[in-house]
Amino acid sequence: MIRTTLAASPRRARVLLAKAVVIGAAAFAAGLVAAVGSFLLVQPILRDNRPELSGFPELALTEGPVLRALLGTAALFALIAVLALGLGALLRRTAAAVTAVVVVTVLPLILVSLLPLGLSQGLQRLTPVAGFAIQETLPRYDQVASLCLPEDGCYPQGPWIGLATLVAYVAVVLGLAAWRLRRRDA
């Protein structure tokens, strides 16, 4: 259907942008429903089955870090979906695009537990995986930041810097995809 779409709308970058908006909005909505549903489902289970957490207050949806993590998870879903769209437009092969998305989002998460701490933190700062920092809800204490272990879900950068790193990757990939789409046949 891409040939028909491009014949009806010859401005290819506009078509790619429209696809990105639709995919991003759908992924954001699905991610938000999944994140809020998971939070509401797991919160009572954690309270009832984890006696060591009994001294901690129950988290509410309206608390700042929780709200940021839930909305951030939805944004993370949307950004990864748009990244996949951009890689698909660049590579023009479904299998190659799916493999590339898995490599840039899952492989670094596996490697961080195998590499020395300095390398794993660098990998977390410089790859699209940095966007997962938006899900971190624990308070950050700079004096113990060197003890931040990737296995514990701790990220070496702040949540907003991590999300900005992922946004930069998405912008570059979409820009390259739009440039390449304008220069080739469907």
Is the separation of the CB atoms in 81 and 27 below 8 Å?
yes
Rounded to whole angstroms, the Cα distance separating 72 from 155 reads 15
Q: What is the pTM of this model?
A: 0.85
The predicted-structure confidence for 32-73, as pLDDT tens digits, reads as follows 999 999 999 988 887 777 666 555 567 778 888 889 999 999
Is the separation of the CB atoms in 121 and 148 below 8 Å?
yes
Domain ranges of the chain: 12-182
Binned average pLDDT, 10 residues per bin, the chain of 186 residues: 75 90 97 95 78 63 88 96 93 90 88 81 85 80 61 76 94 94 74
Show the 3-state SS of the chain.
CHHHHHHHCCCHHHHHHHHHHHHHHHHHHHHHHHHHHHHHHHHHHHHHHCHHHCCCCCCCCCCHHHHHHHHHHHHHHHHHHHHHHHHHHHHCCHHHHHHHHHHHHCHHHHHCCCCCHHHHHHHHHHCHHHHHHHHCCCCCCHHHHHHCCHHHCCCCCCHHHHHHHHHHHHHHHHHHHHHHHHCCCC
